[in-house]
Amino acid sequence: MLYLSTRGHPDRKRFCEILLEGLAPDGGLYLPESYPQVDGAALARWRSVLNEQGYAALAFEVLSLYIDDIPADDLRRLCEKTYTAEVFGTAEIVPLKALEEGLYLEALSNGPTLAFKDMAMQLLGNLFEYELARRGEQLNILGATSGDTGSAAEYAMRGKQGVRVFMLSPHGRMSPFQQAQMFSLMDENIHNIAVEGVFDDCQDIVKSVSNDLDFKRRYRIGTVNSINWARLLAQVVYYFAGYFYATKSNDDKVSFCVPSGNFGNVCAGHVARQMGLPIGRLMVATNENDVLDEFFRTGTYRVRGSADTFETSSPSMDISKASNFERFVFDLLGRDAARTRHLFDESLRLHGRFELGEDPLFGQAASRFGFASGRSTHADRLATIRSTFECQGVVIDTHTADGVKVAREQRQTGEVVVVLETALPIKFAETIREAIGREPQRPARFEGIEQLPKRMRVMAADTVAVKRYIAEHCPLA
């Protein structure tokens, strides 16, 4: 299996080469040269693999179609080490909950940080440790977070050999629960830097450190952001699992509704569908930051400035541009790399938008690729959390509520829709209280977490100071 860049770079790479890389050298995103096809016989076999051997065994089946530069026994061991009931709370790993007629929730947020990002990040941590050991290399992950991504990365990398994490977050701006999750980690390889500023200041520092190529090389700086192909690949697995849990036969179809921000999660659904999983529709649910809903309704993709990016009560979907979207557009355009490059490099850079509404290919987003979309607001979120609690007795988080809202609105008679549950309500307690006037349940292991000692360094929003801190804490190899 070889990987190409969506912008047409002539090089082809193997999985472990792109594992530790971010963007392709031409600024594109990596995709497999073609999607491996899963026929009826393979689907039948995978259904029994899941039922008889469990999620980790299914993960191995899916991953091994895309990874041919890790020996099969090692890859199987990495999957078994990652997807355990101990880490993800249940033997099913991603159990389904029936909501109402034709509607299910797929629980993806019972991992260490209570958000679906654990599903991919936990595997990434094990893959990184494995590959770095094999190469005898070290990696220093530098990132900026306003909540979910940073904690998922830290819980995945804690205690791993060869990896250090330097995570910048805006001082005093994360919820007390999120701060406690991150800052209570005492592992030596985890460094929390609380920057006196906002999230954008943190991100600017990461960018300017990464732009210093000499520093980046010298200190082996890397990232774990959502464009990483390995993260996306790990997410493909739970579409297969969700499908098998929701159906009795492989003749059935299932649609998925996915709370979306950077288009990483739903892009994994697109990959599963391209492989031949019988997915009916892929519904993209956004909040007030509706870049993606606008595209699927009109064919216009218009990135937003920071003044037009709203702070909402589903904050992990507050994005101004969807960093994984280029992968889907590349497929929509019949894998025309020159055209993809033109849209994402020139049109977006010069005009902040591109328009495909007039192009006959745009119609295929729905007809051939199965996409639909919808948006949700704070008021919708409250109403959805309330009605789901009152009618089904289930408390859902704000992001999942955006998904349930859109699924209820879009679902056609007879259609089975699985909504991906992307976080647990305890992470967004304030809005839950506003919706139903009660405190969301807290898993026992998070009891009293706010009272634990905290370990972090407060620092001015100053690139030089951050570089100095990294240099002091990275013995050069």
Ligand X SMILES: *Cc1c(COP(=O)(O)O)cnc(C)c1O
Which residues of the chain form contacts with ligand X (CB under 6 A)? 115, 117, 148, 226, 259-265, 316-317, 399, 422-423
- Tell me the closest approach of the beta carbon of residue 459 to ligand X, in angstroms: 25
Nearer residue to ligand X within complex by CB, 160 or 399: 399
Q: Which residues pair with 279 in a beta bridge?
A: 254
DSSP H stretches of helix in 279-428: 291-298, 325-332, 337-341, 348-351, 364-367, 378-392, 398-410
Cα angle, residue 229 at apex, residues 344 and 183 outer, rounded to 5° = 105
| Least distance from ligand X to the Cβ atom of residue 80, Å | 25
Which residue's CB is nearer to ligand X, number 396 or number 461? 396
Least Å distance, CB 246 to ligand X, is 20
Instruction: Provide the β-strand partners of residue 283.
Output: 257, 372
Give me the least distance between CB of 264 and ligand X, in Å please: 3
Phi/psi-derived region of residue 317, left when phi > 0, alpha when psi is between -120 and 50, beta in every other case: alpha
Tell me whether residue 148 or residue 288 sits nearer to ligand X (CB atom).
Answer: 148
- Give every CB contact of residue 312 below 8 A, 6+ residues apart in sequence: 287, 288, 289, 318, 378
> By C-beta, is 169 or 260 nearer to ligand X?
260
Q: Residue 183 has which token pair?
A: 């800052």
CB of 173 to ligand X, least distance (A): 16
Rounded Cα distance, 327 and 314, in Å: 24
By C-beta, is 132 or 241 nearer to ligand X? Answer: 241
* 117 labelled catalytic: yes
The closest alpha carbon to 256, from 276, 233, 272, belongs to 272
Place of tokens 């089904």: 392
The two structure tokens encoding residue 337? 């790399």
C-beta closer to ligand X: residue 66 or 428: 428
Compute the 3-state secondary structure of the chain and give helix, strand, coil in percent, each to the nearest 5: 50, 15, 35
Beta bridge partners of 13: 3
- Greatest alpha-carbon pair distance for the chain in Å reads 61
List of residues 6+ apart from 227 with CB closer than 8 A? 22, 23, 29, 264, 323, 324
**Catalytic-role residue among 81, 97, 117, 248:** 117
Nearer to ligand X among residue 178 and residue 340 (C-beta): 178
Pairing of strands 254-259, 417-421: parallel
> CB of 227: closest distance to ligand X in angstroms?
10
> Which helix (H) or strand (E) segment is 432 a member of?
helix 429-436
C-alpha distance from residue 80 to each of 29, 97, 232, 449, 471 (Å): 28, 24, 19, 29, 36
For residue 174, the minimal CB distance to ligand X (Å) is 13
280-307 core/surface letters (b: 16 or more CB in 10 A; e: else): bbbbbbbbbbbbbbbbbeebebbbbeee
| Nearer to ligand X among residue 343 and residue 420 (C-beta) | 420
Rounded to the nearest whole angstrom, what is the least distance from the CB of residue 294 to ligand X in the complex? 15
Which positions are annotated as active-site residues? 117
